[in-house]
Structure 1
Amino acid sequence: MLKKNKMFQVLMASAVVTSVLAGGTAEAASTAKSSSAGQAAKMASPKLKAAKVELSVNGASVSVNAVQLNQAYLVAVSDVVKAFGASASAAKGIVTIKNATGSRVVQLQAGAKSYKVNGEAAAFTNAPLLQDGKTYVELQSLVEALGGEWIAGSGQTQQVLTVQKPEGSYSSVRWNAQGQIIASRDDAESAQIVKLDPASYGSTVISTDEYAAELAVSPNGQWGAYTDNAGQLYLMNLASGLSQKLGSDTSVKTDLTWSADNSRIYFIQGDKQEKISYVNVGDGKVTEVLADKVENKSDVSLSADGKRLVYIVNVTGVASSDKDSTEESLSIDYSGAGQQLYSLDLTNKEAKPVQLTTGKDNKLYPVALDGGKAAYLSADPDSVTAKDVIKVIGPDSSVQDLASIIDVTVIAAGPSGTLVAAGVAADGSTKVLKIDSGGQAELYSTSGTVSELAVSADGSRIALIEDGRIVVITGGKTIQLTK
């Protein structure tokens, strides 16, 4: 009996060595016609039931061969290798698998629970096995050994990634021209501007410039604009992460916003935020648009047609005192303090700012819409029961409330006047709504908190920050891009 066992082990090792794993069409070395092989075959375990496992690999569907072992499924190494873009070879009974980058090397053997990852020992729950010329292994163990991540699923439907999701807490999410996400990682030891790919789940740090953390991305997604502490403007190439100076003006600049044709960058200018200007991207020349001496401007927004600006003026209290200006007589009247929305017609050089609002509600995320409209998030600072809503102001000064089914917390503008809003519903969940002329539609629901939204240039994808994680909504599906 001992001799028979040794002979069986030799034959099993030989079968592994002669299997062609990379092509997925390996044939067993059981064609040997010796009587010893026949005796070993009689001692082999009963053949397991063949099956198929449907994998989602980085979001793409792949069908792989499998065998059923009790309630679990072991998958064909050759199929996983192909799906991961990895490579495999066999020698002396050891199967060696390398991931696509060569950073992970996995060594395993049919019939043995122990295996190695980059030389470090690990163990399967169920030993790999050889059947019909293919080696079958536990999916989750192999995926993680190759540097990937098992996401969800069970049995014959499972979801995996070829890489681990990036970790960290993120903010300032934006889209670039390649459909990738630019975001700032907040919990890193130093500043990190990261590019993340929803297709591959890969991530790359493209800049460590602390001033670029909240860069404004051009509509074509190719450039990011930001200023340093001296007021110098910079342009970052979002493909390479390389930055260059734009012009030489070093006045204070805040609230950068691009024109739709990518030729200008508008901003609030001055130590007291008293001006609105723009810089020509081609030559770096700064041109003043508004200098009405009204201080504390912020949140400038430009309509897609480039005809109107909308911005906020933060009105402070009014100080008064007696004729001697004694400290005892000094008083400040805050009755008129608050935020008011203004618009400016850019087609008329003689145009004056027009005040759009007079209420005491807090005004956030102003958006200049085409057709003379403007929108903003209205938050009532004095009410604990009233919902925060989106208000749209028409060219005739009419006001319409939108997204009233949620208590709105953040909004973002998309193409063609589309708005996207996130807020808390009556059941306590956070919902993301798409709002356009056709009404509003729910895109996403979560128990988490959504703090930021960004709509892609074509409006087909939405990126959001949920409790520091990046989530992408596309094609009716959601992808949690980071963990």
Structure 2
Amino acid sequence: MKHQLSSLVVASAVLAGSAFTPVLINEASAASIQNSVKTAVEKVVVNGQVKNVTTVVIGKTKLYSTKDLARAASASVTYNQNTKVYSVAKGAGKQKKVIDYKADHNTAVANGKNIKLGTPSKVVGKTLFVEAKPFVQALGGDILTDGGLLISLNGGIKVSSASLNVEGASKSVGVLTINGKKLYSVQDVAKLFSATVKVDKHQEVTLSKKGTTVKFKVSTNSISVNGESDNTKAFPVSVKGTVYADLADLVTALGGDIITSGKSSLISLTGLVSGETFGPQWVNPSSILVTNETEEGARTLLIDVNTKKVLFEVNGTELAVSPSGKQALYSDENGFVYLVDLLSKKTIVLNGEDDSVKVEFVWSHDGKKAYFIQGEKSDKIYSVTLADGSLKKIYEDSKAYKSDLRLSKDGSKILYSVGAEGKTKYTDDDKTDVDTIDLTDTEAQFYTVSLLEAAPKAAAITVTKDIKIFPEFLANGNVVYVSADAESDELPKLHLIGADNKMTELVVNKDIVASTVTAQNKVMILVWESNNTSVIYEVNPVSKRLVKVAATPLELTSFSVSANGLSIAATTEGLDGEKVVFFKNGVFESVTK
């Protein structure tokens, strides 16, 4: 049973891919008198453009100008003087559709079949006026009437309901579908946001929620949010007291976001986290810790990758998540160490006495302590015990600015990267004026320190001049890293350091962006391919075979694999720097913006 619509004259786009943009104006122009019949003009939007349609009222029935309707439908009207037949035609060949009328007749011929008209066609002046419904349906469209018209010139019209994924929960809302274009019930969508809806007699719609007032008018393509105006993607319409509008217009205006992933989408009621977001670390299979920087400062957020909700906020950065995913450590600008309970969402001071610089926390595999680089010059390696917050020096030497701290899979040794400082030559004895700095042999090298020895010593495992990044231990004690040469155009290489520090090239022909070793001891690399796609591969360190894990047209800059090895988070360009994305159902969907 077709629904009846109120005060509406609408035509949809005929061209493929065009948006349905209905308008409700019902604007009557000055009347003219021809054959004692009064005409009026109503306005209709076709393919985004407002068109005038002339009407007359015969008895209690409104008839419409065939010339205006045909023009709106990209159809033609011809008149045969001999047969007295008005022919309206659209399309060509097998796609051609024709409806024939005779003035003052209550029948017509639509595509070869006789049809009965509720009201005979009428000539006013030189124009034939007809009922809109048979006209539109004969040309392949659909129509609903209720005082005015809702016309689809290329497909059906349907009032129904649809399920929306709202932060992981399914919610049913009303939908008006025209030519495949869906408009959503304003009243239903507003309810999702706990917003109130008011529609006045002029059909101006006001949505209100805490801190937000949204205003727009049925049939206009302008929307105001707290006084700031913007254009809508579609014209809102009113049907039997329900206002329908574009979903993205409504969600955005009410402070939310729509996240599209392949053929599915999710609505975030509070909107995705803005600012620059990076450094994703998996806490459990459904949530990650990220660093978020805005104009107000930096913080760490715990975000559910499925619902996009922020679960917890920490007033600190560079957190290190424990192997269990239940805790995290960080140090503030005072050098104090904090322990974050990610389950209870509480933070305590683990050590508030030692104010030295502490960076790059690396947890022991049993979660009882963590190692870190200490000192203004990052020249020492310490550990902190979780039970009492006590600090212990593990290793110290004269080489400053250590970085890339790693712990072997068996917990028996640590690895770090450090280079020699350049030799500075001064022009004066007081060493106030620098002449030159000699950077010969200052390239960073990897060192390992055994944690089993009473007097640990550092042993260099590389001596090469390449740039070395992303070092990671394998389960057998070997180390993989990415090597690059800043002085050449050669692509980065993935190297393996084996027994006796023997170097093996694992990947040499890929533009490697990042690499990691998962908890399952899988070597994975992020590559920017020549076809402008980012691809994550698993690398077999024995056969050197690459297996594609994920691919995207997004230019990914980093990636992180969950502890169970089943989920991948990554970073790519966002609105304000980097944003975090999540690999789901074969595509990367946004977690932040």
Structure 2 length-normalised TM: 0.60
- Is 1:461 matched with 2:570? no
Structure 2 counterpart of 1:417, one-letter code: N
Deviation at 1:250, TM superposition (A): 3.3
| Equivalent pair of 2:362/2:406 in contact (CA under 8 Å) | yes
Deviation at 1:111, TM superposition (A): 9.0
- Equivalence for 1:478: 588
Residues in 1 aligned to 2:564 and 2:281: alpha-carbon distance in whole angstroms: 13
Distance 1:392 1:130, change over 3 A: farther
Distance 1:49 1:419, change over 3 A: same
Deviation at 1:306, TM superposition (A): 1.4
Deviation at 1:265, TM superposition (A): 1.0
| Equivalent pair of 1:407/1:424 in contact (CA under 8 Å) | yes
- Equivalence for 2:362: 257
Unaligned 5+ residue runs, structure 2?
A: 1-5, 8-144, 152-156
Identity across the alignment (%): 26
| Equivalent pair of 1:362/1:381 in contact (CA under 8 Å) | yes
Residues in 2 aligned to 1:253 and 1:290: alpha-carbon distance in whole angstroms: 14
- Equivalence for 2:449: 344
For each residue in 1:396-424, what CA deviation from the matched residue of structure 2 results, as whole angstroms up to 9, or x when unmatched? Answer: 53333334342223223321222333343
Deviation at 1:85, TM superposition (A): 7.1
| Equivalent pair of 2:350/2:388 in contact (CA under 8 Å) | no
For each residue in 1:96-125, what CA deviation from the matched residue of structure 2 results, as whole angstroms up to 9, or x when unmatched? Answer: 9989x8666779999999999789999871
Structure with the larger strand share? 2
Deviation at 1:378, TM superposition (A): 1.1
Q: Secondary structure at the match of 1:199?
A: coil
Q: Within 5 A, what are the aligned runs for 1:116-265?
A: 125-130=235-240, 136-150=244-258, 160-177=267-284, 179-203=286-310, 206-208=313-315, 212-238=316-342, 240=345, 242-246=347-351, 248-265=353-370
Deviation at 1:189, TM superposition (A): 3.0
Structure 1 counterpart of 2:502, one-letter code: S
Unaligned 5+ residue runs, structure 1?
A: 1-7, 10-40
Residues in 2 aligned to 1:193 and 1:106: alpha-carbon distance in whole angstroms: 32
- Is 1:74 matched with 2:187? no
Structure 1 counterpart of 2:484, one-letter code: A
Deviation at 1:188, TM superposition (A): 1.8
Structure 2 counterpart of 1:255, one-letter code: E
- Equivalence for 1:33: none
Distance 1:332 1:75, change over 3 A: closer
Q: Secondary structure at the match of 2:255?
A: coil
CA RMSD of aligned residues (A): 4.5
Structure 1 counterpart of 2:580, one-letter code: I
Structure 2 counterpart of 1:451, one-letter code: T
Distance 1:282 1:382, change over 3 A: same
For each residue in 1:51-106, what CA deviation from the matched residue of structure 2 results, as whole angstroms up to 9, or x when unmatched? Answer: 67675555777776633335532345676578x4758889999999989x866677
Distance 1:431 1:439, change over 3 A: closer
| Equivalent pair of 1:113/1:127 in contact (CA under 8 Å) | no
For each residue in 1:324-378, what CA deviation from the matched residue of structure 2 results, as whole angstroms up to 9, or x when unmatched? Answer: 99999x9976543211112233334456433211211111122122211112221
Residues in 1 aligned to 2:447 and 2:261: alpha-carbon distance in whole angstroms: 52
Residues in 2 aligned to 1:252 and 1:141: alpha-carbon distance in whole angstroms: 48
Residues in 2 aligned to 1:397 and 1:422: alpha-carbon distance in whole angstroms: 25
Q: Secondary structure at the match of 1:412?
A: strand
Residues in 1 aligned to 2:253 and 2:533: alpha-carbon distance in whole angstroms: 37
Distance 1:263 1:179, change over 3 A: farther
Residues in 2 aligned to 1:333 and 1:74: alpha-carbon distance in whole angstroms: 68
Q: Secondary structure at the match of 1:191?
A: strand
Structure 2 counterpart of 1:441, one-letter code: K
Residues in 1 aligned to 2:198 and 2:432: alpha-carbon distance in whole angstroms: 88
Q: 1:395 aligns with which of 459, 484, 499?
A: 499
Q: Secondary structure at the match of 1:479?
A: strand
| Equivalent pair of 1:246/1:281 in contact (CA under 8 Å) | no
* Greater Cα offset, 104-113 or 251-260: 104-113
Distance 1:317 1:91, change over 3 A: closer
Structure 2 counterpart of 1:172, one-letter code: G
Residues in 2 aligned to 1:345 and 1:314: alpha-carbon distance in whole angstroms: 20
Deviation at 1:162, TM superposition (A): 3.3
Structure with the larger helix share? 1
Distance 1:237 1:96, change over 3 A: farther
- Is 1:381 matched with 2:489? no
| Equivalent pair of 1:338/1:360 in contact (CA under 8 Å) | yes
Distance 1:137 1:272, change over 3 A: closer
Distance 1:160 1:405, change over 3 A: farther
| Equivalent pair of 1:309/1:368 in contact (CA under 8 Å) | no
Residues in 2 aligned to 1:391 and 1:461: alpha-carbon distance in whole angstroms: 25
User: What is the count of residue pairs matched by the alignment?
Assistant: 432
Which one has a bigger Cα radius of gyration? 2
Residues in 1 aligned to 2:431 and 2:226: alpha-carbon distance in whole angstroms: 77
* Greater Cα offset, 409-418 or 311-320: 311-320
Residues in 2 aligned to 1:62 and 1:404: alpha-carbon distance in whole angstroms: 50
- Is 1:412 matched with 2:495? no
Structure 2 counterpart of 1:421, one-letter code: I
